[in-house]
Each structure stands twice: as C-alpha cells, then as structure tokens.
Chain A
Amino acid sequence: MILLSILFHTNKSSTIKMLFTSFFKTLVGKTVVVELKNDLSIQGTLTSVDQFLNIKLDDITVGNVDKYAHMVSVKNCFIRGSVIRYIQLPPEHVDTQLLQDATRREAGEKSA
C-alpha cells in the first residue's frame, strides 16, 4: 500500500522513471545485502535511496573481511548506484503482485 500511495502522489512522467526508487523507499529500515561489481558484498540496514539507486546503509557487515581489511572500521556507507550488481531483499517485505500491477499501470499509461 505504501508503494501505491507513493506512485499516486508523484506526477505521471516521473512515476515511470522512479518506480524502482519508490519501491526501494518502501524498504528503508530493512536489512538488505548489496553485491557490488567488484564482488564485495555488504549487508546493512537501508537508510536512503535516490533516483540513481545510490544507497546508504547503516550497521554494515562485509563478507570476506580478510580480503577487504579496509571495511572493518566502516560502520555506515554510501554506495554509488552504478557499481551495484545485485541487491538481495527481504522477501517478506516485497509484494510482487503490487509491483506487477504498478508495471502494468505504467505500460497502460504509456500506450494511452
């Protein structure tokens, strides 16, 4: 429902571009795992997202700390969207039906 309300309150043209941003905004406060293109994977609490899918994480832990020694003294971080490969989401907080509907609605708006 949160996602839907965000979609309705933004104007049409920006809705199309911002679907993923809006979606990630509904996951703020949840724990996610971000895998970067340099194979570093970071688990942390999502604190903010923007239109480039740049994200900020809190209380981060890094897989394979031995290889990434510089990350042990980092507690919160900003990750540039362009270097992200995957984001693992908590499935219980993702409403795929809602996402599917939002996509269909946009497709309809575009063709109309």
Chain B
Amino acid sequence: MSLPPTATASLVEEVDKCLICVLRDGRKLIGYLRTVDQFANLVFQDAVERIYVDDYYGDIQQGIVIVRGENVVLLGELDAESAQNSKLTRVSAADILQRKQVQLEERKKSEQEERQRRLTMQREQPDIVDDF
C-alpha cells in the first residue's frame, strides 16, 4: 500500500519542535518530537509529564518516551507568550504529586458520599424503585 504524500497531515513538519501531546487517558506529555510515522506513533526526547491540579502544574521527568499512535489525542505547539500570561503557578514535582493525591482522595470521598446518599434515599422511598 503506497500512501499519498499528505499521509498523517504531515507531522513531519513538527519534528524537532517542543510539543505538548495529550493522550487518551488525559495525561499531557511535553518534549521534543524526534520521530513520527503514518500511525502517529511518536518519539519524544527530554519528555516531561505535566500534571495540572487547579491553578498549579508540575513536571515529572520521563526522558525518552515512545507513544503508540492510538493513544494520541492531540499534538500542539507551545506558545511561550500565552504561557507567560497564564494564571497558572509552577510547583515542584513532589508538590504536584501531593496535590494530585489530595484531589484524588477528595473525589473518592465525594463519590462515596453520593453513593451513600442515594442508598438512604432508596431505603426511605422503596416504592420509587419498585416502579422500575
């Protein structure tokens, strides 16, 4: 199968630029794009995973990363000017991981509360459930 020259909307032009890559699980990788192919498999050098929690972000060093194309959502060029104007605060890797953990626990807690609330509602009004 020969591919037309436009294959992969020419990611070739983006090679060697510093890019942000959003993955299907919501993670964001930032690094220098070194290699691409027709599936959008990617190789990043000096990659970091950037974690955002509320108005803070932090970078986790990852080194060289190969991303299988199917996991790629989007690749964007970073604009230095708008990055400076943003209200986000940069924190250390340890700090952002700590904040992430706190956020996860808070979410878990509120989900559990919601589940509990529904259970009590069902117990108090069992006839509503019977209708279904």
Q: How many residues of B contact A (CB 8 A)?
A: 34
Q: Point out the residues of chain B lying under 8 angstroms from A38, CB to CB.
A: 24, 26, 73
Q: Point out the residues of chain B lying under 8 angstroms from A27, CB to CB.
A: none
Q: Decide: B86 and A50 in contact? CB cutoff 8 A.
A: no
Taking residues whose C-beta sits less than 8 angstroms from the other chain, chain A's interface range is 20 to 34
Q: Point out the residues of chain B lying under 8 angstroms from A52, CB to CB.
A: 8
How many angstroms from the CA of A44 to the CA of B1 in the assembled complex? 32
The B interface is mostly helix, strand or loop, or mixed, namely mixed
Q: Point out the residues of chain A lying under 8 angstroms from B55, CB to CB.
A: 69
Count CB-based A-B contacts (< 8 Å). 84
Q: Decide: B77 and A80 in contact? CB cutoff 8 A.
A: no
Q: Decide: B82 and A49 in contact? CB cutoff 8 A.
A: no
How many angstroms from the CA of A40 to the CA of B69 in the assembled complex? 19
Interface residues in A44-80 (C-beta closer than 8 Å to B): 48-52, 54-56, 60, 69-80
Q: Knowing A50-B8, A52-B8 touch, does A74 contact B77 (C-beta < 8 A)?
A: yes
9 closest A-B pairs by beta carbon, nearest first, are A74-B76, A77-B76, A73-B83, A78-B75, A50-B9, A75-B79, A54-B9, A48-B9, A83-B73
Q: Which chain B residues have a beta carbon within 8 Å of chain A's beta carbons?
A: 3-4, 6-11, 14, 20, 22, 24, 26, 28, 40, 50, 52, 55, 57, 69-70, 72-80, 82-83, 86, 88
6 of the cross-chain contacts (CB-CB < 8 Å) are A50-B8, A73-B83, A75-B76, A78-B9, A78-B75, A78-B76
